[in-house]
Amino acid sequence: MQHFTLLEINQLVKETLGAQLEPSYWVIAEIGEMRLNQKGHCYLELIQKEEERIVAKSRATIWSYTYRNLSAWFENMTGERLRVGITVLINVTIQYHEVFGLSFNIKDVDASFTLGERAKKRQIVINQLVDDGVFDMNKMLDLPLVPQHIAIISAPTAAGYGDFMHQLEQNDRGYNLHTELFNAIMQGEQAEDSIIKALMKINDMSHRFDLVVLIRGGGASSDLDCFDSYELCSHIAQFPLPIVTGIGHERDETIADLVAHTRMKTPTAVSEFILQGIRAFEERLEATFQNLAWYADKHMEVERRALEQKAWMINKTVQKIALNEWRKLDSLISSLTNTSRNVLAKREEQLNKYIERIQSVTKNELDNISRTIENYHHYLGSLDPKQVLKRGYSITTLNGKKVTSDTPLDAGMTIQTHLVDRTIESDITKIDNKN
């Protein structure tokens, strides 16, 4: 009976594979494990899954020189790093070693395949959200005109959070907004669950907030993968408060950006969006006050002229009636000198009734006009700046004049902020002009 040693069998396998296999093959596989050693060599475990069950597995290597060039090129082309969990199309040579067995040596990676897989996964998530009927739900919510209470989902140490808060707190109009941070991990494998938990906390106290901002600083495009997940995007789309995103990338648009109420590019752009909305409302409010005052003045002038005209007409009517009656009386006196005193008294009584009637009509008309004027005075009183202050607003003045965006201000000047029950003097130490 012929027999072989293990080495002989392994050598036979190596020779057979070497004779039968092509120089290289393009293989689709998922990176199951990946590590770099001190020399820069990359060792991987490639897997294939069917319904979450691993049906194939092989070892692979990328030697250090190839890895340096290949990984940099791949990240530049796709926007993400070679990492565990992504599916790649790789060009490999198949090697068999008598001791280490079968392995692949990776020579190249097809970046366009990875981009296509990524786009395919994104489209699947988008289609699912559309089929669920939730894709546009958050966008259909009304954005508050003047958001006063803002819930923030971010990492407290993130540069983007610091930029957002600095711009919000140092706004040139002195708006005082109430913010609350809900700490979350904004990148990595735990980011999705962490952000969802933050959303659930806000949902439990949603009556305390006007809107939610979701912000993070810059980073690799692969760090944005959690913002393309179905679970997170479904929560965002169905959230009961408007959500504004500022994930920190100029170029990349995530599914979270698509389902949120408003997408801004950066955290600072989110804060400017909020402040600009408040400024626009304030300007519309000021314009409304000015229009009301103008219309009130105009209406009062019209009513004053109408009152003068009516008073003149009443006076002329009274004079005319009185003159006519006196003429009648003179005529009666001259023509009826012999008429009894009773007849004369009766005519005089009739004349007095006419006069009383005229006076009554005149008094009623004047009373109505007086009430109209008083109503307008009450209406204008409600527009008084003091009444506006009582509703929680403030007015800033410089040397007794209201400060607007056109007022020239310099460091060292003293401005006054008028509240309903106090006046606060502030010295300007710094001015940030926003173009």
pTM (predicted TM-score)? 0.54
Average pLDDT over residues 95-100: 82
Note the pLDDT of residue 366: 80
Please tell me the least confidently modeled range out of 33-37, 276-280, 290-294: 290-294
**In the block, residue with structure tokens 């990349």:** 252
Note the pLDDT of residue 390: 75
Q: Answer whether residue 30 is part of any domain.
A: yes
**In the block, residue with structure tokens 């004369």:** 344
Q: Answer whether residue 226 is part of any domain.
A: yes
Residues 19 and 68 in one domain: yes
Note the pLDDT of residue 374: 80
Please tell me the least confidently modeled range out of 86-95, 211-220, 398-407: 211-220
Note the pLDDT of residue 351: 79
Confidence label for 201 from pLDDT (cuts 50, 70 and 90): very high
Q: Answer whether residue 178 is part of any domain.
A: yes
Highest mean pLDDT among 117-121, 324-328, 397-401: 397-401
Q: Answer whether residue 198 is part of any domain.
A: yes
Please say if the pLDDT value at position 250 is more than 60: no
Count of domains for the chain: 3
Residues 106 and 217 in one domain: no
Residues 137 and 270 in one domain: yes
Q: Answer whether residue 342 is part of any domain.
A: no
Note the pLDDT of residue 61: 93
> Higher confidence at residue 205 or residue 388?
205
What residues contact residue 280 under an 8 Å CB cut-off, 6+ apart? none
Q: Could you tell me if 81 and 71 are in contact, meaning their C-beta atoms sit under 8 angstroms apart?
A: yes
Residues 234 and 139 in one domain: yes
Residues 81 and 181 in one domain: no
Note the pLDDT of residue 381: 66
Nearest Cα residue to 63 out of 94, 41, 37: 41
Show the tokens assigned to 292. Answer: 């009301």
**Pairing verdict, β 423-427 and 414-418:** antiparallel
User: For the chain, how long is the longest CA-to-CA vector?
Assistant: 175
Note the pLDDT of residue 435: 62
Average pLDDT over residues 257-284: 90
Residue 220 phi/psi, 5-degree rounding, is -70, 155
Q: Which CATH number fits the domain that encloses residue 254?
A: 3.40.50.2300
Note the pLDDT of residue 231: 94
**Three-point CA angle 161, 167, 173, nearest 5°:** 150
Note the pLDDT of residue 248: 66
| Boundary residue ending a domain (225, 246, 280) | 280
**Pairing verdict, β 87-97 and 101-109:** antiparallel
Please say if the pLDDT value at position 379 is more than 60: yes
| Boundary residue ending a domain (76, 110, 144) | 110
Please say if the pLDDT value at position 220 is more than 60: no
The domain of 96 spans 6-110
Bridge partners of 243, per DSSP, are 212
Q: Answer whether residue 119 is part of any domain.
A: no
Average pLDDT over residues 310-327: 85
Please say if the pLDDT value at position 322 is more than 70: yes
Residues 81 and 190 in one domain: no
| Boundary residue ending a domain (280, 306, 327) | 280
**Three-point CA angle 361, 364, 366, nearest 5°:** 105
Please say if the pLDDT value at position 82 is more than 80: yes
Residues 152 and 63 in one domain: no
Confidence label for 221 from pLDDT (cuts 50, 70 and 90): low
Nearest Cα residue to 215 out of 275, 176, 164, 255: 164
Distances (CA, A) of 340 to 16, 332, 333, 345, 351: 156, 12, 11, 9, 17
Q: Could you tell me if 45 and 84 are in contact, meaning their C-beta atoms sit under 8 angstroms apart?
A: no
Note the pLDDT of residue 252: 64
Average pLDDT over residues 325-342: 73
Please tell me the least confidently modeled range out of 77-81, 168-172, 191-195, 417-421: 77-81
Q: Could you tell me if 191 and 185 are in contact, meaning their C-beta atoms sit under 8 angstroms apart?
A: yes
Residues 146 and 74 in one domain: no
Q: Which CATH number fits the domain that encloses residue 39?
A: 2.40.50.140
Which 3 state secondary structure label does DSSP give 157?
A: coil
Range 11-19 contact pairs with CB under 8 angstroms and sequence separation of 24 or more: 11/98, 13/96, 14/96, 14/97, 14/98, 17/94, 17/96, 18/96
Q: Strands of 149-154's sheet, edge to edge?
A: 178-183, 149-154, 211-215, 243-246, 262-264
Q: Answer whether residue 60 is part of any domain.
A: yes
Note the pLDDT of residue 226: 84
d(CA 61, CA 41): 7
